[in-house]
């Protein structure tokens, strides 16, 4: 180095390494350059000292280039004094070249090296550590004037962007330990979005949710407590959170479909009262939303005049389980007029057809009038006690061929009334049929013990006003006020399913418009041919001497306390059952539900267990016979040559 015209050769001198130090001295001269005092100051100010933790360890950050020498104001002598503090280990008994890494986890180095010039200059020096581990990469040179490593914010690219006079020597390396401390990697940009379902493809079928459970709602949280109430294994919930098989199983084990019950509630609650929205209500909003998130339940209504025939159809699938329906319904209500003599056999056949998914909730009769209610077996816990009543419209009460039978129950907080009836027959007896209707609505004594869900809208003279949802179906015997020839001509001209030319002559539709019968009731549009009167076993209307006019005698009507609570899905006839002179009429409805109070007496899951077992036994026997027949056909001794 040349200063004030004099050549000064500076060489590094190091103190003797302490015990346990493994350092190789580098006798290369320090390369320094004189720069402007102001530029040196600016460069050194830009280099902020790194942070040392409480144990004295140096954070493993990427170093900055060394600081440049600055010109001191006083230069009293030309001699250069250089002091280099050697590296000291926290434990002097451990060596830097410990390749086995048997040292303590706190074997960090305390770096404090300073180079000073008596002549007013602070020189930067560097040493090289010859690592015995070929996999260890030496760190870049750092400023010896700084007690610790610099912040990682700068890089070699920043050093290269500086003027050549301020750049450090690339040959200088900083001493390092064989234990390399890796610094955390910081992302250069935003991380990619994590897939919500990151379970492997082989495990996804394991956690697949059955279609029966897809009607559960999305996750619902209370404002207080963030308490979970709905089934957490629902696929809709999995769409809102990332999960794998382990997390799904964990959620299933912690939160089931049922709400938790506190011992204090069991001690104190009498269940004779309770708010509709109260937490933990047996029939409240929480329980309703869990099973019916849309708050609508499906009802399948069927009415059929069996004509008293002893022989039942070989198969009732077309009556209860038509192929054009995508799903079965929650409740099946079947009303029969002029039923078969063996009522028990009729109920067993219904159970056999519906199978193990359904149980008979209740059955009532009035002579040959049968009314049966089947429910999905997992819904019977939310039904109240079932009540029934009967009314005869005959002058002599012992003759029970005409009249009505009604069944009522409450499902959650919605009360239902189902009535099947058989009115007076005859083409011209419209007035008698109106009298039958008036007697039924006044004399049907329901409800008996069940609470009225809305007593302010009930009247004592009309039973249909005491319930939220009412379905009235049966053989009403109303006819078409036209000659048979004219009716057949209209039927022949009918295109598609537009039956309005026939309905214009319907006696019931006319009386309902005038308000003389079925006040407040509605009927879905009729899009099927008249269901009365056919010859047995065929699709030909009456060919007897009476030549009765085809008519819509079999009907399904409904009434609701709230507008639009009942939505019609299907209203048609079953033309495949031909054992009677009447065709069955079926209707599918979606009915709105409301939460209930704790004062509703529950039915405790009661159903006819004996009927259920007999129906399942017959179903199994039928299947075994079918398989045996197929097996016998496949093992036939007749040979065929093709």
User: Using 50, 70 and 90 to split pLDDT, how confident is the model at 185?
Assistant: confident
| Alpha helices, H only, 209-328 | 235-238, 245-254, 263-268, 285-291, 317-320
HEC readout, 113-130? CCCCCCCCCCCCCCCCCC
Contacts of residue 200, defined as CB under 8 A and 6 or more positions apart, other chains included, come to: none
Contact present, 566 and 415 (Cβ < 8 Å): no
Angle, to 10 degrees, between the axis of helix 507-514 and the axis of helix 430-443?
60
pLDDT computed for residue 266 by the predictor: 73
* pTM value surpassing 0.75: no
Higher pLDDT, 352 or 176: 352
**Does the pLDDT at position 129 exceed 50?**
no
pLDDT computed for residue 325 by the predictor: 87
Contact present, 553 and 478 (Cβ < 8 Å): yes
Contact present, 492 and 440 (Cβ < 8 Å): no
pLDDT computed for residue 181 by the predictor: 72
Instruction: Please tell me the least confidently modeled range out of 50-64, 182-196, 508-522, 594-608.
Output: 50-64
User: Using 50, 70 and 90 to split pLDDT, how confident is the model at 56?
Assistant: low
Separation CA 488–CA 494 (nearest Å): 10
pLDDT computed for residue 162 by the predictor: 55
Q: Which helix (H) or strand (E) holds 619?
A: helix 609-634
pLDDT computed for residue 311 by the predictor: 79
**Does the pLDDT at position 377 exceed 90?**
yes
Higher pLDDT, 619 or 397: 619
pLDDT (tens digit, 9 = 90+) per residue, 401-446?
A: 899 999 999 999 999 999 999 999 999 999 999 999 999 999 999 9
Quote the mean pLDDT of the chain. Answer: 73
pLDDT computed for residue 57 by the predictor: 55
Separation CA 149–CA 59 (nearest Å): 7
Separation CA 321–CA 628 (nearest Å): 25
| Alpha helices, H only, 194-283 | 235-238, 245-254, 263-268
pLDDT computed for residue 25 by the predictor: 44
Three-state secondary-structure class, residue 137 = coil
Nearest to 117 by CA among 91, 153, 145, 80: 80
Higher pLDDT, 558 or 151: 558
**Does the pLDDT at position 573 exceed 50?**
yes
Q: Cα–Cα distances in Å, from 249 out to 14, 73, 232, 233, 253?
A: 65, 75, 10, 8, 6
Q: How many CB atoms lie within 10 A of CB 367?
A: 19
Instruction: Please tell me the least confidently modeled range out of 389-393, 574-578, 600-604.
Output: 600-604
**Does the pLDDT at position 308 exceed 90?**
no
User: Using 50, 70 and 90 to split pLDDT, how confident is the model at 262?
Assistant: confident
pLDDT computed for residue 276 by the predictor: 59
Nearest to 600 by CA among 267, 276, 260, 258: 276
Report, as an integer, the average pLDDT of 66-93. 48
User: Using 50, 70 and 90 to split pLDDT, how confident is the model at 35?
Assistant: very low
**Does the pLDDT at position 486 exceed 50?**
yes
Q: How many CB atoms lie within 10 A of CB 481?
A: 16
pLDDT (tens digit, 9 = 90+) per residue, 316-373?
A: 999 999 998 889 999 999 999 999 999 999 999 999 999 999 999 999 999 999 999 9
User: Using 50, 70 and 90 to split pLDDT, how confident is the model at 275?
Assistant: low
| Alpha helices, H only, 368-499 | 430-443, 484-493
Three-state secondary-structure class, residue 405 = strand
Higher pLDDT, 263 or 363: 363
Three-state secondary-structure class, residue 211 = helix
pLDDT computed for residue 383 by the predictor: 95
**Does the pLDDT at position 61 exceed 50?**
yes
Q: How many CB atoms lie within 10 A of CB 180?
A: 13
User: Using 50, 70 and 90 to split pLDDT, how confident is the model at 104?
Assistant: very low
pLDDT (tens digit, 9 = 90+) per residue, 194-252?
A: 655 544 444 444 444 444 444 434 434 444 444 443 333 344 444 444 444 444 443 33
Domains of the chain: 285-619 (3.60.10.10)
The dihedral over CA atoms of 352, 354, 360, 366, expressed in degrees to the nearest 10, equals -80
Give the single-character DSSP code of 371: E
* The pair of three-digit structure tokens given for residue 569, joined into one six-digit string: 């899905």
Nearest to 594 by CA among 205, 299, 294, 249: 294
Could you tell me whether strands 331-337 and 296-305 are parallel, antiparallel, or unpaired per DSSP bridges?
Answer: parallel
Percent of the chain with pLDDT over 70: 58
Angle, to 10 degrees, between the axis of helix 343-354 and the axis of helix 609-634?
60
Contact present, 517 and 557 (Cβ < 8 Å): no
């Amino acid at each position: 180095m040349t200063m004030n015209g004099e050549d000064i050769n500076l060489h590094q001198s190091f103190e003797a390494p302490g015990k346990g130090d493994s350092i190789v001295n580098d006798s290369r001269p320090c390369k320094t350059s004189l720069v402007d005092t102001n530029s040196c100051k600016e460069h050194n100010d830009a280099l902020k000292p790194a942070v040392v933790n409480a144990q004295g360890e140096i954070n493993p950050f990427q170093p900055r280039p060394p600081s440049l020498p600055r010109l001191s104001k006083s230069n009293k002598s030309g001699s250069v004094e250089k002091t280099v503090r050697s590296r000291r280990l926290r434990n002097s008994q451990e060596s830097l070249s410990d390749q086995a890494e048997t040292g303590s986890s706190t074997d960090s180095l305390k770096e404090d090296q300073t180079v000073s010039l008596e002549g007013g200059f602070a020189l930067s020096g560097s040493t090289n550590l010859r690592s015995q581990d070929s996999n260890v990469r030496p760190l870049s040179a750092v400023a010896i004037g700084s007690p610790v490593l610099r912040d990682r914010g700068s890089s070699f690219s920043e050093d290269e962007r500086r003027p050549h006079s301020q750049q450090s020597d690339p040959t200088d390396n900083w001493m390092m330990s064989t234990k390399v401390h890796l610094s955390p990697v910081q992302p250069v940009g935003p991380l990619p979005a994590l897939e919500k379902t990151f379970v492997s493809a082989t495990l996804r079928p394991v956690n697949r949710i059955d279609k029966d459970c897809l009607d559960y709602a999305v996750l619902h949280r209370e404002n207080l407590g963030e308490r979970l109430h709905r089934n957490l294994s629902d696929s809709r919930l999995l769409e809102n959170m990332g999960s794998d098989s382990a997390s799904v199983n964990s959620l299933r084990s912690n939160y089931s479909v049922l709400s938790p019950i506190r011992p204090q509630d069991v001690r104190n609650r009498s269940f004779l009262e309770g708010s509709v929205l109260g937490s933990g209500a047996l029939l409240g909003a929480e329980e309703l939303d869990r099973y019916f998130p849309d708050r609508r339940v499906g009802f399948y209504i069927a009415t059929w005049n069996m004509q008293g025939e002893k022989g039942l159809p070989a198969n009732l699938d077309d009556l209860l389980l038509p192929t054009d329906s995508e799903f079965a319904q929650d409740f099946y209500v079947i009303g029969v007029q002029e039923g078969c003599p063996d009522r028990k056999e009729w109920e067993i056949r219904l159970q056999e057809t519906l199978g193990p998914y359904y149980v008979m909730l209740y059955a009532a009769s009035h002579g040959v009038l049968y009314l049966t209610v089947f429910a999905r077996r997992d819904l019977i816990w939310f039904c109240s006690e079932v009540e029934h009543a009967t009314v005869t419209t005959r002058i002599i009460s012992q003759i029970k061929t005409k009249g009505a039978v009604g069944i009522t129950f409450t499902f959650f907080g919605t009360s239902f009334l189902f009535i099947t009836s058989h009115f007076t027959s005859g083409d011209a007896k419209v007035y008698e049929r109106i009298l039958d209707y008036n007697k039924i609505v006044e004399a049907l004594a329901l409800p008996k013990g069940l609470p009225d869900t809305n007593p302010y809208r009930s009247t004592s003279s009309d039973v249909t006003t005491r319930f939220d949802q009412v379905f009235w179906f049966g053989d009403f015997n109303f006819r078409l006020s036209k000659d048979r020839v004219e009716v057949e001509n209209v039927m022949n001209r009918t295109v598609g399913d537009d039956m309005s030319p026939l309905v214009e002559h319907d006696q019931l539709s006319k009386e309902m418009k005038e308000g003389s019968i079925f006040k407040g009731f509605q009927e879905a549009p009729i899009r099927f041919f008249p269901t009365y009167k056919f010859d047995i076993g065929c699709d030909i209307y009456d060919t007897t001497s009476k030549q009765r006019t085809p008519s819509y005698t079999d009907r399904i009507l409904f009434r609701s306390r709230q507008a639009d609570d009942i939505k019609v899905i299907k209203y048609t006839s079953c033309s495949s059952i031909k054992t009677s002179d009447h065709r069955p009429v079926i209707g599918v409805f979606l009915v709105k539900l409301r939460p209930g109070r704790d004062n509703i007496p529950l039915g405790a899951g009661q159903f006819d267990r004996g009927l259920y077992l007999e129906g399942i036994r017959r179903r199994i026997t039928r299947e075994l016979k079918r398989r045996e027949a197929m097996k016998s056909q496949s093992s036939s001794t007749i040979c065929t040559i093709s």
